[in-house]
Chains A and B, each alone.
Chain A
């Protein structure tokens, strides 16, 4: 059984690449083009899953996104489900992100751009396996 991933990515090529690599590894991925769409998609999936199970196993966000920035999207999602696993991918240096992440929870991780797609898949798979083992 693959992972359910929600990725917000305004670069259309990067979005397509996510789709390609995750589907190759038998995971399902939903791409949002901006922050608002991301929150909407999350809400929609949450409403559909009546049994209270996780709508997505992981949410991938960028700090910089049109319409709603990553931190606000993360806050909205954590309000709906406080334990939602969120990973930020960002092209900013660490110094900038430190400030932003202090307002977020421990369940939030950061990966710096650029990184290899296989690395991202491994990270998500390992993280999820670890979580299930606990």
Chain B
């Protein structure tokens, strides 16, 4: 589950990183296109505006120079009274005036047409000052023409003093006009420079911005690479972890498989063992070597043992699968213990002692509990060559528990086996030398006691031998009143 979340967030993060890189590169390309357009636009303005205006200005200048010339000619022809040439020069002078006005108007229109072209503030300001300059030039020129006309008309009056003053004023106007025209030229030059600077600036800005974006994309790519590396490391760790857990599971399965093989071997051994004498009895009886009755008695006893073995194997299967069924009944545990203990005959070597409280009524599976007691006494006998086997009971009514202790003075339990004594095949399989019994008895005992809700445990005695204790509840479902009465009694 956590792995799934991890995966999702990982792919999401990779996706976002890649999307950001693509977006940034896209932005860089867009910016490049935009800048190119802007620069192209500025250059277009520059070429469209600059050349005709510059040409216009030089026209104005030429026209102006020629007008001076024609004015001079007119005044000379006036002095020498060449009326034919005077008229011609005068009309030429007037035509230059018209041409001048026309050129001014043309430049004005040209400039005006760019005013609302969507240019930046500085360019517009420059254009406005050019227009103002043009207007001034126009007005100075018209003053000049007016003055020149006055001079030509007053020449006939021979008023010399006036004539000199007027001539001086005309020259002033002429100089003013020249100045203004050269200023206009300068303005145009400024505009050109400004536009060129703007284009350069745009280019530089765009280059810088693109560089920033590309570097950012690069940094994000590096981060993504680092991040992928981290994820990869995580994945490697994950694989190592999973492999380890799989190896662990595999080892567990191998162990279980060995246990299963052992179980099959032991089950087959246990089943075949009583079968062998049954065949023997049949064979001997058939050949007349023994009597029929002896054979049948033997067969019947072995058949019972076989049944017992079969039941035990079935019980192991039930315990393994957690389906051991108990049939509860109320019975006298004291009587059961005494009955089982007395079924084992004490001899000179081994003595079975009982220290059992009288009248212990319990609610449990009588047959199963009997099986456990049999098993434990059998075990004690198996490991005790000579000595005492004790069966002791102790009731704890408050806790609703009865404790049964079976201790012997035998060889004790090997410390290697003790911690896993109640496991399946704790006493080892047939391949080991210390093998005693089938290794299922105590496993079965624990299964039965645990199914009752009790506990079973073992320890080695200080002096000699071992002790096995088990507890089971006295009453299955204890009711408070019953308990109270039990305690009172």
Contact = CB atoms under 8 A, between A and B. Distances in A.
B454 to A, nearest CB: 29
B187 interface: no
Given A13-B280, A117-B283, A91 B273 contact: yes
A100 interface: yes
Indicate the member of A69, A72, A95 with the most B CB atoms within 10 Å: A69
B438 to A, nearest CB: 8
Given A17-B284, A66-B436, A93 B276 contact: no
A43 interface: no
Contact of B277 (A17, A67, A95): A17
Nearest to A14: B277
A122 interface: no
A14 B268 contact: no
Given A92-B265, A96-B265, A114 B431 contact: no
Interface in B380-433: 382, 430-431, 433
A20 B290 CA distance: 8
B279 interface: yes
A90 B272 CA distance: 9
B301 interface: yes
Interface in B279-299: 279-281, 283-284, 287, 289-290, 298
A2 to B, nearest CB: 16
Interface string B229-273: 000000000000000000000000000000000000100111111
Given A92-B265, A114-B275, A17 B430 contact: no
B274 interface: yes
A63 interface: yes
B435 A64 contact: yes
A11 B273 contact: yes
A24 B289 contact: yes
B280 A17 contact: yes
A63 B273 contact: no
Contacts of B436: 66-67, 69
B371 interface: no
Main secondary structure of the interface of B (DSSP, over half): helix
Interface in A101-124: 113-118
Nearest to A90: B269
- Give the contact-size bracket for chain B: 20 to 34
A20 B436 CA distance: 28
B431 A96 contact: yes
Contacts of B284: 17, 20-21, 117
B302 interface: yes
A92 B271 CA distance: 10
Contact of A13 (B271, B281, B435): B281
Which of A14, A21, A90, A95 has the most C-beta atoms of chain B within 10 angstroms of its own C-beta? Answer: A14
A14 B275 CA distance: 10
A69 B436 CA distance: 8
Given A92-B268, A93-B268, A114 B435 contact: no
Contact of A66 (B273, B277, B289, B382): B382
Contacts of B435: 64, 69
Nearest to B438: A64
B430 A92 contact: yes
Contacts of A64: 269, 430, 435
Contacts of B271: 91
A67 B433 CA distance: 10
Interface string A1-25: 0000000000101100100110010
Interface of B: 265, 268-277, 279-281, 283-284, 287, 289-290, 298, 301-302, 382, 430-431, 433-436
Given A11-B274, A113-B276, A117-B280, 15 more contacts: A11-B273, A13-B280, A13-B298, A20-B290, A69-B436, A91-B268, A91-B272, A92-B265, A92-B269, A96-B430, A99-B431, A113-B273, A115-B276, A116-B283, A118-B287
Q: Nearest 8 A-B pairs (CB), nearest first?
A: A91-B272, A17-B280, A13-B277, A114-B276, A91-B269, A14-B277, A113-B276, A114-B279
